[in-house]
Amino acid sequence: MPSFIPELVLVRKTALEYPLGSELKERFEARGIKLILYEDRIPALHRQTFREGYLAAKRVMVLSVWRQGEFQTCKPSAHYQLPLVSGCPGLCEYCYLNTNLGRRPYVKVNVNVKDVLGRAEEYVRRRKPEATIFEGAATSDPVAVEHWTGSLRNAVEFFAALDGAKFRFVTKFTDVDGLTAIEHGGKTEIRFSINCTSIIDEYETGVPRLKSRLTAARKCAGAGYPVGFLIAPIFAFEGWREKYGQMLRLVREYLPEKTPVFFELITHRFTTRSKKIIRQAYPDSSVPMEETERSFKYGQFGCGKYVYPGVVLKELKEFFLNEIERLFPGAKILYFV
């Protein structure tokens, strides 16, 4: 799958004061990509419908500057989000970012990478002797733009040399060659987000297919990174046992025996807000979001979500736990939700 090339780049003027900002501007100009400079506010893209605006924004990259505030926390998978990139050019219909980014799903790159890493170091120092874990993909898929930014590479090398720090990120993208030849010290964990092929074909546009992701995972494992798989969202559709069984067997085939792997398992859920956005952005989507077929679960902040009923969750859980244990004996399953 060809790497992401933006159709339009919005450049905050102050981003040009940083090496990555000015370098990217030159590279985009050399390729004839349209650039627009802005002062403080990211210019709005005026389109007639939500869907048109949404799709247009997915082809936009914003070069911005991290404002030197506090990092957002990132429980339970890490202590802090690392604000290098937000957004993603992929078009997965059920994407969790749809709810966060709504109308403005463009890829925003913070070019002052040194400032971000410098602040990360402060957090690590403050929390010592406890280790501090940073998540690089809380609001993005940073690998999608790594061939432009190189920010992950910098972060991986930075954390490799920093005592008391760990780094992790998750991706559906496969541009990992820049990461496999660098020093990571085993301190960066790379998770690949996967699903069975029928779900990928149906709902995941603009992202690499399963076998490409597994090839990338194998490269990362071969380079000594701790590698995991985020299986999400898991759907209970007709024939799910067979399809997810095939997927797990394929993962097994792609990974050399004895590669230590771990799994995170997330069943499909939706909120009233995410359903509304998906319906606007993907009017023909067949992502199952029928409230009557789900159980309602109150969330932490009062807003609730629709999850599979207990009996379905139990079946899914038993299946995944058994199959993973059978194919990957001893592999850790960090959680099933």
**Interface positions with ligand SF4 (CB under 6 A):** 88, 90, 92, 95, 97, 141, 172, 207
95 versus 124: smaller Cβ distance to ligand SF4? 95
| Smallest gap from residue 175 Cβ to ligand SF4 (A) | 13
Backbone angle region of 32, left / alpha / beta, with phi > 0 → left and psi within -120 to 50 → alpha? left
Which DSSP string corresponds to 50-91?
A: HHHHHHHHTTEEEEE-----PPPB-TTT-SEE-TTEEB-S-E
Residue 35: which of 6, 66, 75 has the closest Cα?
A: 6
| Smallest gap from residue 314 Cβ to ligand SF4 (A) | 26
Q: How far is CA 10 from the centre of its chain?
A: 22
| Smallest gap from residue 144 Cβ to ligand SF4 (A) | 7
Question: Could you give the CA distance from residue 289 to residue 16 in angstroms, rounded to a whole number?
Answer: 44
101 versus 165: smaller Cβ distance to ligand SF4? 101
10 Å Cβ neighbour count for 18? 18
Backbone φ and ψ of 70, nearest 5°? -80, 150
139 versus 188: smaller Cβ distance to ligand SF4? 139
18 versus 141: smaller Cβ distance to ligand SF4? 141
| Smallest gap from residue 93 Cβ to ligand SF4 (A) | 9
| Smallest gap from residue 292 Cβ to ligand SF4 (A) | 26
244 versus 282: smaller Cβ distance to ligand SF4? 282
- Residue with the two structure tokens 């799709």: 55
Which DSSP string corresponds to 205-250?
A: ESS--HHHHHHHHHHHHHTT--EEEEEEEE---TTHHHHHHHHHHH
| Smallest gap from residue 141 Cβ to ligand SF4 (A) | 4
**Type of residue numbered 9:** V
Could you say which DSSP state residue 294 is in? Answer: S
| Smallest gap from residue 50 Cβ to ligand SF4 (A) | 17
